[in-house]
Structure 1
Amino acid sequence: MRISQLLRPLVAATLFCAAVAAQAQVSVMLPANPGGGWDSTGRQAMKAMNDAGIFTGTVSFTNKGGAGGTIGLADFQRSQKGKSDALAVFGAITVGSITMNKSPVDLSKFKPLARLTAEYLVLAVKADAPYQNVDEFVAALKANPGATAVGGGSAGGVDHIALALLAQNADVPVSSLNYIPQAGGADTVTGIVNGTLKAGISGVSEFQQFADTGRIRILAVSADKRMEGLEDVPTFKEAGYDVALANWRGVLGSVDMPEENYQQWLDRFTKLSASPEWHATMERQGWEPYFLSGAAFGEFMASESKRINAILQDAGLVK
């Protein structure tokens, strides 16, 4: 037997091991507490990627919540610089939270990988609340905004912005609102049910399960048209209030991620966006497809930063 024949299995095994090692592990920063929208987006995206055979290596997740994701992202920006396989989940909430919290996070420094999903927001109250529709809730808000506590995500996030837009439409001073940030959607529901909150604003996926079991009642959704599964729920626009807002979520690569790795992850997320596994996940979670990648996503981030900060200024939430 020739030496070359003897070496073939060894070479093949070496190449196989190298390929496995090349995608051995990726670390994913989830800048929120377990169970929320960013947490599920990161975990479900990587699971779908694994199920589709796009990336089958080991994935380690780190949850570090607080201040609209800026605490976790600041740590990611600092500690993962130049790392080849370091990703972070973030979204629309982050943009306003950076301004509200005077955070050192600079989104333009990260590698823009993929905008994955959009989720619309809903306004919900306790199942037996006296408000039967948005108008009745707005009347209570207008009569005594301080006594009408509304819970949602971080200050300056999309939930807060949605309430500010609703207040502006109803001629309620934004500065008089009693908005109370919550750790997550489940905490908001708890506050609604026990009466410490008169209402809550959050994503469809975080509230719909509680509405289905009768714990809360959804009054309106921030989409442009009625949504599947919420056919009986009007949009804010249908109710007469110009509140149309999407909570988009996406993935960033580390600051100074090597170009070869960046292109690899762009390719992986592009394949994920078209995979049946990911589309099944989005349908199950109630997420809307909202894919955009690379430079185009970077341009979108810049425009969103300008738009959201303008809304915060107009609403008097920042100077």
Structure 2
Amino acid sequence: MLKRLTMAGVLTLALGAGAVSAEPAKVMIPANPGGGWDGAGRHTMAAFAQSKVFTDGASFTNKGGAAGTIGLAEFVRTAKGDDNALLVTGVIMVGGVITNKTPVSLADTTPLLRLTNEYNAIAVPANSPIKTPQDFVAALKADPGALSVGGGSAGGADHVMLALLAKHAGAPVAKINFVSFSGGEILAALGGGKIKAAISGASEFRQFAESGRIRIIAVSGPTRVDGINAPTLKEAGIPVEIGNWRGFVGAPGMSDAAKKTWLDRFAKLHATPAWKETLKSQGWEDAYLPGDAFNAFLKEENANWTSALKEVGILK
């Protein structure tokens, strides 16, 4: 579980003095407290404070559901023209917009940057008979409906990863039993045995695994994750690799001057020891991609995820 700065849905974090801006940042987190988006928003703003790059504070609003698209819609509706409003976004939101066919999308915001990437992990309860990636695939093949697997919202990276694993196993994707959670509830469900397995960001499982409440059996990256004693899926002969990037967008109608200011702040943050320590402590990969390059990346991601969701049968 990520170490949270607060469990409150809306809370102001005092980040110290030293004005760079006249107002605190207003950060919309499109998920409940405790998950990957929550950690991305709060840890990033904490790193701003620690590095003294931005010291005017931040308020956080958590609004979860529908792969982040409920928070996205609220942000687009309420933050228009606000130069201090930021939204945490990521690949799950890209998939959610496509899957849910929402009337709003990231094209309605002011894209700023991709900041981190994190590879997924598969975890099971500590007493589970599933001990290896091969065991997991065998269970999917034997009876995909009987293997309840928790993850984030439908159409997100967790859901697509399970669908890809089912395809590898030769199991019908339409019969997989994917249970959607928002925020940190997945950890309680997995630790309590309410689901048989879970797929989420590796950092979200690390603390529970270290305490012995769950067991991580695989990670989805090209190499093993430091501090997690689990093989990659590719090591186990399973050709599935999938990551979960996160970043920030600004409000609709954010001024050009404010966009430049925020991009300058993030560029300075990216070079600080405080940010490098944040990446290390959270197990995040540096995926810094700002400005126009990020905007182009979003368009490419939209096309790629539309194809991927169709390929695995999630999008008809």
TM over 0.5: yes
Give the distance between the partners of 1:193 and 1:315, measured in 2 at CA: 29
Instruction: Please tell me the residue identity of whatever aligns with 1:85.
Output: N
* Residue aligning to 1:84: 83
* Residue aligning to 1:61: 60
Give the distance between the partners of 1:57 and 1:202, measured in 2 at CA: 32
Give the distance between the partners of 1:87 and 1:192, measured in 2 at CA: 32
Instruction: Please tell me the residue identity of whatever aligns with 2:44.
Output: A
* Residue aligning to 2:101: 102
* Residue aligning to 2:199: 201
Instruction: Compute the displacement of 1:252 (Å).
Output: 0.2
Larger helix proportion, structure 1 or 2? 1
For residue 145 of structure 2, give the secondary structure of its aligned residue in structure 1: helix
* Residue aligning to 2:10: none
Give the distance between the partners of 2:137 and 2:203, measured in 1 at CA: 24
How many residues get paired? Answer: 299
* Residue aligning to 1:211: 209
- Residues 1-319 of structure 1 mapped to structure 2, 5 A cutoff: 20=19, 22-184=21-183, 186-230=184-228, 232-319=229-316
Give the distance between the partners of 1:85 and 1:193, measured in 2 at CA: 38
Instruction: Compute the displacement of 1:109 (Å).
Output: 2.8
* Residue aligning to 1:4: none
Instruction: Compute the displacement of 1:57 (Å).
Output: 0.9
Instruction: Please tell me the residue identity of whatever aligns with 2:142.
Output: A
Instruction: Please tell me the residue identity of whatever aligns with 2:37.
Output: W
Instruction: Compute the displacement of 1:180 (Å).
Output: 0.5
CA contact (8 A) 2:27 2:85 kept: yes
CA contact (8 A) 1:108 1:298 kept: no
Instruction: Compute the displacement of 1:286 (Å).
Output: 1.2
Unaligned segments of structure 1, at least 5 residues: 1-18
Deviations 1:240-290 (A, max 9, x none): 112111110000011110001110001001111111111111111111111
RMSD of the alignment, in Å?
1.4
For residue 244 of structure 2, give the secondary structure of its aligned residue in structure 1: strand
- Alpha carbons of 1:130 and 1:21: their partners in 2 closer, same or farther (altered >3 Å)? closer
Instruction: Compute the displacement of 1:194 (Å).
Output: 2.8
Instruction: Compute the displacement of 1:50 (Å).
Output: 1.6
For residue 122 of structure 2, give the secondary structure of its aligned residue in structure 1: strand
Give the distance between the partners of 1:22 and 1:183, measured in 2 at CA: 32
Instruction: Please tell me the residue identity of whatever aligns with 1:78.
Output: R
Deviations 1:4-35 (A, max 9, x none): xxxxxxxxxxxxxxx94843222111111111
Deviations 1:280-302 (A, max 9, x none): 11111111111010000111111
Instruction: Please tell me the residue identity of whatever aligns with 1:218.
Output: I
CA contact (8 A) 2:82 2:251 kept: yes
For residue 282 of structure 1, give the secondary structure of its aligned residue in structure 2: helix
For residue 147 of structure 1, give the secondary structure of its aligned residue in structure 2: coil
For residue 292 of structure 1, give the secondary structure of its aligned residue in structure 2: strand
CA contact (8 A) 2:54 2:265 kept: yes
Percent identical among aligned pairs is 49
Give the distance between the partners of 1:166 and 1:134, measured in 2 at CA: 10
Instruction: Compute the displacement of 1:183 (Å).
Output: 2.3
CA contact (8 A) 2:144 2:176 kept: yes
CA contact (8 A) 2:23 2:84 kept: no
For residue 117 of structure 1, give the secondary structure of its aligned residue in structure 2: strand
For residue 289 of structure 1, give the secondary structure of its aligned residue in structure 2: strand
CA contact (8 A) 2:31 2:71 kept: yes
What TM-score do the two structures reach when normalised by structure 2? Answer: 0.91
* Residue aligning to 1:6: none
Mark the structure with the bigger radius of gyration.
1
For residue 146 of structure 1, give the secondary structure of its aligned residue in structure 2: coil
CA contact (8 A) 1:119 1:246 kept: yes
Give the distance between the partners of 1:204 and 1:137, measured in 2 at CA: 17
Instruction: Compute the displacement of 1:228 (Å).
Output: 1.4
Deviations 1:67-126 (A, max 9, x none): 111001111112111111111101110011112222122212322212111111001111
Instruction: Please tell me the residue identity of whatever aligns with 2:256.
Output: E
